[in-house]
Structure 1
Amino acid sequence: MTNTLILISVLFLGIIIYLLNKIQADRLKYRSNMKVLQEFVAHLNDEQKIQNNQILLSAEFKKKLSIINATLSKDIYELSYTMFEDSYPRK
């Protein structure tokens, strides 16, 4: 009877030690995975900032292009009008 209790106690002690080691290994694996995930989120954050800057530059470029296009259209119209007046003088 005593031998059986000692055997069960040693078995339970072995299981407890095994589970403690497994828990420790799982914690290390979890920390490693969390570190990779945090680096990935930081990378995505950096990419988002870059894309936001590109969108901002794109909007500014679109605005400037619109202004330049309007100015160019006005200049072309005035040049065409001047050429027309020079080609067909008033009587």
Structure 2
Amino acid sequence: MIHILALITLFFLVLIVYLISKIQLDRQKFHSRIKVLEDFIVEISNEQKAQDNQLKLSDELRDKLKHINATLSKDIYEVNFKLVEELYPRK
């Protein structure tokens, strides 16, 4: 009877050690997968920030271009108007 109890106890001890090592291995795999996902999220976040900066620059350049075009159109109109006045003076 004692031998059977000793074998059962030994079996459960081996099972406990196996399960503990399996849990630790699974935990390590989980942490390595989480690390990969975290790195991927950081990379995507950095790319998103870069794209946001490019979009902001694009918007700023578009606004500057509109302003420059308006100023240039006004200047061209004034030059044309003065040229016409010089070529065809009022009588």
Residue 85 of structure 2 is aligned to residue 79 of structure 1: no
Query: 2: distance between equivalents of 1:15 and 1:3?
Result: 18
TM-score (norm: length of structure 2): 0.83
Residue 51 of structure 2 is aligned to residue 51 of structure 1: yes
Query: 1: distance between equivalents of 2:69 and 2:4?
Result: 95
Corresponding residue of 1:89 = 89
In structure 2, list runs of 5 or more residues that go unmatched.
Answer: none
Corresponding residue of 1:18 = 18
TM-score (norm: length of structure 1): 0.83
Corresponding residue of 1:38 = 38
- Residues 37-82 of structure 1 show CA distances to partners (whole Å, capped at 9, x for unaligned) of 2211221221122122112211210221111011111022113323
Residue 13 of structure 2 is aligned to residue 4 of structure 1: no
Identity of aligned residues (%): 52
Aligned-residue Cα RMSD (Å) equals 1.7
Corresponding residue of 2:27 = 27
